Amino acid sequence: ALPQQVRLFEMGPRDGLQNEAGPIIATATKIEFIHRLAAAGLTHIEAASFVSPKWVPQMGDASEVMNGITRQPGVVYSTLTPNLKGLEGALAAGVEEVAVFGAASESFSQKNINCSVAESLERFEPVLERAREANVRVRGYVSCVLGCPYEGEIAPAKVAEVAKALYDMGCYEISLGDTIGTGTPLAAKRMIEAVGREVPINRLAAHFHDTYGQALVNLYAVMEEGVAVIDAATAGLGGCPYAKGASGNVATEDVLYLLQGLGIDTGIDLQAVIDTGYWITGELGRKPGSKVALAKGCKI
Ligand code: HMG
Ligand code: MG
């Protein structure tokens, strides 16, 4: 059965902008994007990334973004923190939630965070410990859950193993990333079944990129398995710099339209998200990558 409620985790300001080619996006633009998303009713927003600016230049102003936003009550603004240095930056900016990010693929782990999967888990332990002391919640990502840009197929058992390690370490939720968007519904279901044997389904989130146009149908498949948290980026922005050719996250607008059709309430204003998508892609010099946005059009 499908879940009655779904929580959306907006990825636009982080996953959405981290891989933008071209000039560095102004901090003020990122801040306004976050404000508009919160005003549209999004309650979970991944706002920035405390990673090396040499690795991901677009996220180099994480402190300025986090210090520049006006936080709305009831909205969680999260950031990526791959190590203690990242966490210290996030804590200094007063975050209440952070995320560590691992992978189910050795090669991707090396390319993305410069260490093996086992080393990454060792590195995350002190991050979780320090976050616990500071009363900061930690989310855990597993990348390459339905395929790897370097290794191809990934065994569901490997995804389950890394997900369990992050969960046992104290991550409150495990977000399963189809980083390169190669997954299809049956594979997605099998992956969720494998992970669901190690981590409660209500602690899992689906983070699907839409490279092959399968993200929505994969989301439907995993919702049938009981997954009720969905990561999405307004206008379908995004991609990982260490997954060449991977396109954006599934568009928030498209997910909202799907959920409305299923009678699943989110409390989010679809038209306001569409308008926000037109605004941010206007800033980036293109049109939204959401079919729903293109069909409905901008109203402001
Ligand atoms: P490293 O080179 O192994 O780290 O990188 P290091 O500890 O040896 O430090 C090297 C330099 O980086 C030093 O500076 C450090 O101070 C600095 P230097 O002395 O050379 O001037 N440094 C930092 N600076 C700022 N913030 C930090 C930090 N840590 C070290 N936190 C590291 C390891 C993890 C830092 C690096 O590999 C990195 O930053 N990677 C970022 C990768 C990334 O952000 N990828 C995209 C996000 S993941 C994603 O998109 C997937 C996801 O969406 C899910 C999915 O779709 O599957 C989540
Ligand atoms: Mg991603």
Indicate the pLDDT class of residue 242, thresholds 50, 70 and 90: confident
Ligand positioned closest to the Cα atom of 233: 2
CA of 114: how far to CAs of 109, 235, 250, 259, 274, in Å?
7, 30, 27, 38, 37
Q: What is the mean pLDDT of residues 113-136?
A: 98
Instruction: Give CA–CA dist 222/225, Å, rounded.
Output: 5
Q: What pLDDT is attached to residue 239?
A: 75
Q: Are 294 and 287 in contact (CB under 8 A)?
A: yes
- Distance of alpha carbon 235 from its chain centroid, rounded? 14
| Catalytic residue (one of 144, 148, 171, 240) | 240
The interface predicted TM-score (ipTM) is 0.98
Strand partners, 7: 229
Q: Is the pLDDT of residue 241 over 80?
A: no
Nearest CA to ligand 1 atom 11: 52
Q: Ligand 1 pocket: which of 52, 80, 95, 174 to mutate (most atoms <8 Å of CB)?
A: 52
Mean local confidence (pLDDT), 267-291 = 96
Q: What pLDDT does 22 receive?
A: 86
- pLDDT confidence tier of residue 243, bands split at 50, 70 and 90: confident
Regarding pTM above 0.90, the answer is: yes
240 labelled catalytic: yes
**What pLDDT, on the 0 to 100 scale, is given for residue 72?**
98
Rounded to an integer, what distance in angstroms lies between the CA atom of residue 139 and that of residue 257? 26
> Would you state the pLDDT for residue 244?
79
CA 59/CA 273 separation, integer angstroms: 22
Q: Which residue's C-alpha comes closest to atom 50 of ligand 1?
A: 240
